[in-house]
A and B are shown apart, each in its own frame.
Chain A
Amino acid sequence: MAKQPAIELKNITKRFGAKVIANKNVNLTAYRGEILSVLGENGSGKTTLMNMISGIYFPDEGQIFIDGKEAVIASPKDAFSYKIGMIHQHFKLVDVFSAAENIVLGIEDGKYNLKKSVDEIKKISSQYGFNLDPEKKIYTMSVSEKQTVEIIKVLYRGADILILDEPTAVLTPQETDKLFEILRRMRDDGKCIIIITHKLHEVLSLSDRVAVLRKGEYVGTVNTSETNESDLTEMMVGKKVDLNIERLETGDCQDRLVVKNVTCYDRVGAKVLDDVSFTAKSGEILGIAGIAGSGQRELLESIAGLQHLSSGEILYNTPKTGKVENLRDKTPMQIRNMGVRLSFVPEDRLGMGLVGNMDIVDNMMLRSYSKGHSFFLKRKKPKDLAMKIIHDLEVVTPGAGTPVRRLSGGNVQKVLVGREIASSPTVLMVAYPVRGLDINSSYMIYKLLNEQKKKGVSIIFVGEDLDVLVELCDRIMVIGGGHINGIVDGRNTTKEEIGLLMTKSKYNGKEKDNG
């Protein structure tokens, strides 16, 4: 079968403001009956490019051709008329509606016949092997089910060019395999599938061809069968990168933080942590794996003094003196005043760890501003610290006076991690520290964590990339539904084992049905 180009981009350029060029002269072709990966680091312009195809942005220069004809896509509605469907990273669904209601929402064909739509949805589901109950309400669904709804939504509208933005970010390895199976079936059905990602092994296992972007520029397209991880990385980053993550052997491990039978409930009374017990040791990295929203955030927040516990204890063994402090029901300020050097890099960097509208100096003060009895702030030390972090961690910023929200994701994280490490912690908690970071920044974060480990810091690392967890962590604790499903040794485990533990139900020990 001769390949037919479904979509062609010619010399696409998109600028934001005068300085930022998100895409520069991008040329890209995707054929029917193939899966094309668009690979690039964060900030390389992948999402911007796809947003131009799906009508969210309009290109400043260049043309888009659909089936060989020039197309003008000025709105998502135009994109639909060209049968282009985009599945965003963040789902756009109405929680209180059922799957079917969400799928038909916004279709203006004058008729509203839910029953007929449900039949149609079932037909699509069985054709591609989805497992979805169209009557199920969104708020009762798991993340992967929500994603299924998004995919069926665009298929229902007749899309035959599908764009998926980082679809596996929220899935377990098993769910990812299932999604890939479905995508392959769609490809065989003659659809054109474009998947945006930065995970190399997924690119290699799924796609037929890979298009690489670097800093907004199109680097090239290669056939997946003719490439490998290190070649792709080199295309992506522009230079050779060592992809090995070191696992230091420190040997000196003492119990630093003992969490005993911690249970806590959220605002509406649902149990978010269920009898959690574990010990974090000095000089080791304890990884926490689990499906997003399984209680990882609550666990870290409990330790940091931000959650009210209904039962349990959090005991801190002070180094050297060995004095045991109970951190339960203490506020972050009290914990600090007790002399417990606990640092926390939260998942929500700009909404929790930092203040986006404040500059780097003021963000440095967050932890330390209240020291001393003066009524006034002292900006000297934070300023020095800001300069030091900018220098040591190679933060790219116009200056220390720039609001942190203007920095790129990697630089924001460097500022945050830099501040948390600066207080020479004994316990360092990090939640998804490399999410959204480019490869170089990610490896710098791993390096910083290893340095801290070497100093005897007890590190708790909540991660999502199982490959990284397995390579970096000494022990990996798997959490599911607020319950600890198991703790495995990082040296002799596999990500399949962790994936199975993630979905294990606590009561019968059997694997949960993903349907």
Chain B
Amino acid sequence: MTPPDGTPPDGTPPDGSSSAGPGSHDGARDETGAAANGAGELVGGGNGLRPGRRHDAFGAGGSGDTSGFGRLVAPAPVLAASERPFGDPDADAVYDALERVFPQLGDAVERAVVDRGELTLHVRREGLPALAQTLRDDPGLRFELLSSLSGVDYPDDATGRRLHSVVHLTSMTYRRRLRLEVSVADADPTVPSLTSVWPTADWHEREAYDLFGIVYTGHPGLTRIMMPDDWIGHPQRKDYPLGGIPVDYKGATVPPPDERRSYS
């Protein structure tokens, strides 16, 4: 098997031109450049495909072109910060209340995004504990319930901070939802733990640590929860192989899922 973190056979530098994920800020690439680039990037399929990147039907990647003919370029997904007012009553109400009671808001929040009616605050990790405490305790916010905490791995994040820790909060008083997103680099994957604010974060953070390698500082017992204690690696990262063996069926061989033809 190809090493999961190895470079692809063509040695393409990770230029991020087709980077996946809402967190990226890529400039548009013109069609001719993409076509020339795409033609030189044919790879053999199988594990040569770079995880987290888009590939066409023949395995070429790096251009955003998924037609296989080097002419069509899908625009790189860019989700920039949303303009105030957001136009969503709940999102505006939450942000207004935060501005009133949390003076460090500009330092703590990198950007706020409203997408599909959901407000996301991209938070700097230094500001997370104070912001979380305010969100829970302020009478105008009252996010009493931490619904969910999950890790997401964006290997091509333009900022280089590929590991995202995403928290979903629910205000039972006002019946609102809010998403906090903290992103950290693989080299320094520490995020302040939220267990002192919401005790339910305990197992969620252990899961995100186990599967993504995000280290939550201040957690009372950050150990693996799904995988065995002596497991090496963090299985849900994009560069961790899925595993699997080819299966013989009526004379044909079905390759394992991560080596089958992929369209994205």
Do A and B belong to a common assembly?
no
